[in-house]
Homo-oligomer: A and B are copies of this chain.
Amino acid sequence: MTHVDERVLIDRLAAGFARSPRQLNAVHESDAELVRLPDGDTVLAVTTDAIVEEITAGLYRDPYLAGWMIVAVNASDLAAVGAAPVGIVVSESLPPDFPDAALDDLQRGIRDAAERHGLPVLGGDTNQAGTLALSATAIGTVPADRVLTRRGAKPGDRVFASGPVGIGTAFAFATLMCGDGARVNAVPFQPVARLKEGRCLPGIASACMDTSDGVIATLDELMRLNGVGVRWERPLIEAVHPTALATARRAGLPAWTMLAGPHGEFELVFTVPDARCAALDAAAAAIGWAPIELGVVMEEPVCSLRDATEWLEIDTTRIRNLFGDVACDPDRFLGELLGGSAPRVVGRSSGVATT
């Protein structure tokens, strides 16, 4: 299995669409669409993301969280192209019996996230629908001479994360798979997209993508687009969020599972050529940011990862398709993840134990 189901669907939907001659990215190549304005100097970053399945699946039960997230997911796509935010428009489908208090919470979530991200709500649209569904489009601008996409990573580039990862999967696991008697604690989740950090990256990073679909899916996409592999050298205990590590430990799961869920967080994974690592250090220090160096881009298109005392080779394609393959059933997902889709041990490491 080498294709990714979601990519196949997107290719099918986009088939036959004429591309704008002013668009700088091809399909899949960027978290946000990049289009040069007629004036020639400005490149617009435009991204649209909806929240539908997360609500119906019970992941975003709290309307405040749903409101927050519809802003954060779109802001994160702007962050991944290093865009300066301009604003966001929000389209809301509301059930006729949606309680007033829930609507207030929803709007408060949108408002708070818009303020927190400096991404003002420019306008919106409302419709009546059977169930709550949100869709939004965020707009930003990027420097025309320093366009950053998912493409450009080269073997030897260093791989970074903007911060600890895995909290998105931990949240989904704790929310969907742990009943009242579970040993796993609830995971607080109100992510802030890395807009400020992303703006450091144009001119420094060679490729960038957010982890909103999970870390392994992100690595898979970056590897695929750039025809490369990733060797993740950082011990997981130093890269996975402490809350995600604790969730895994209490559930008896290996730490790497926190990278494998289809619900990610809103960190950026990006690559930096050796020669520009000093520039990254300087830019990051200037805003009080400490990116986490994960490892290195490899020529061979394989993803290997250091977990506790072993080196693991991960079938990123298989894991990325897995949630769809099990008809979006979290229990089957976990069973398969630890069963047939589990990483292959390819060596011993002297890494720090993480579980």
Contacts and interface: CB of A to CB of B under 8 A. Distances in A.
A17 B47 contact: no
A16 B93 contact: no
A44 interface: yes
Nearest to A134: B135
A120 B19 contact: yes
A48 B126 CA distance: 10
A38 B141 contact: yes
A126 B324 CA distance: 14
Nearest to A112: B16
A309 interface: no
Interface in A27-51: 27, 32-33, 35, 37-39, 41-42, 44, 46-50
A128 B131 CA distance: 13
Contacts of A46: 87, 89, 122-123, 137, 139
A49 B125 contact: yes
Interface in A160-176: none
A255 interface: no
A84 interface: yes
B23 A120 contact: yes
A33 B129 contact: no
Nearest to A115: B18
A128 B89 contact: no
Nearest to A9: B126
B35 A87 contact: yes
Contacts of A326: none
A193 interface: no
Contacts of A14: 121, 124
A127 B53 contact: yes
A288 B158 CA distance: 59
A114 interface: yes
A15 interface: yes
A296 to B, nearest CB: 31
A289 B93 CA distance: 37
Given A20-B122, A42-B42, 9 more contacts: A10-B126, A13-B107, A19-B120, A22-B86, A33-B89, A39-B41, A50-B127, A52-B128, A53-B127
23 contacts: A15-B107, A17-B111, A23-B87, A23-B120, A33-B89, A33-B123, A35-B86, A38-B84, A39-B141, A44-B139, A46-B139, A47-B123, A48-B91, A48-B123, A50-B125, A50-B127, A52-B93, A52-B129, A56-B130, A125-B135, A127-B133, A130-B131, A135-B135
